[in-house]
């Protein structure tokens, strides 16, 4: 009986040392609730704005989008999001590649004559947290 209690205590104690976190992302400032919000999480500079680690598509309600990413390993990340207002499944750009639909990046990073940089958008997630971005 003592072994069962000890084993149970050990299992429960390891659960408290979980290496994974929950990341809640709140994006505000949408001009309308029309369309969907695309949110992507990246774990490296090489993947940033190219190949997301994980992504979700959510409805916009009250000019705000909220998404929760569960069970992410602790580490360095960056987030991007865009408002697919016309529902075509992509970020529309003009002939020069400048986005015609609203977008946001973690740390509210902005690019100058180019897309935002990973170094400006990255953050460390050591514990579960909420990231707020403005579209």
- CA–CA distance, 115 with 122 (Å, rounded to integer): 14
- Per-residue confidence band for 80, with pLDDT thresholds at 50, 70 and 90: very high
Please give the average per-residue pLDDT across 89-116, as a whole number. Answer: 90
Question: Is there a contact between 91 and 81 (Cβ–Cβ < 8 Å)?
Answer: no
Average pLDDT over residues 73-89: 95
Which pLDDT value is given to residue 10? 53
With 60 as the cut, is the pLDDT of residue 53 above it?
A: yes
- pTM of the full predicted structure? 0.82
Assess whether pLDDT exceeds 80 at residue 125.
Answer: yes
Q: Tell me what pLDDT residue 9 has.
A: 55
pLDDT reported for residue 114: 84
Cβ within 8 Å of residue 106, ≥6 positions away: 77, 78, 79, 80, 121, 122, 123, 131, 133
Q: Are 48 and 121 in contact (CB under 8 A)?
A: yes
| Mean pLDDT (the chain, rounded) | 89
């Amino acid at each position: 009986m003592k072994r069962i209690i000890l084993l149970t205590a050990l299992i429960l104690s390891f659960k408290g040392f979980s290496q994974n976190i929950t990341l809640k992302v709140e994006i505000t400032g949408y001009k309308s609730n029309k369309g969907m919000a695309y949110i992507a999480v990246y774990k490296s500079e090489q993947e940033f704005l190219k190949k997301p680690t994980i992504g979700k598509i959510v409805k916009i309600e009250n000019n705000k989008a909220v998404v929760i990413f569960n069970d992410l390993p602790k580490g360095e990340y960056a987030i991007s999001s865009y408002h697919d207002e016309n529902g075509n499944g992509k970020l529309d750009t003009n002939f020069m590649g400048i986005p015609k639909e609203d977008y946001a990046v973690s740390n509210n990073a902005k690019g100058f004559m180019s897309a935002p940089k990973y170094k400006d958008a990255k953050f460390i997630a050591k514990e579960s947290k909420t990231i707020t971005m403005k579209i």
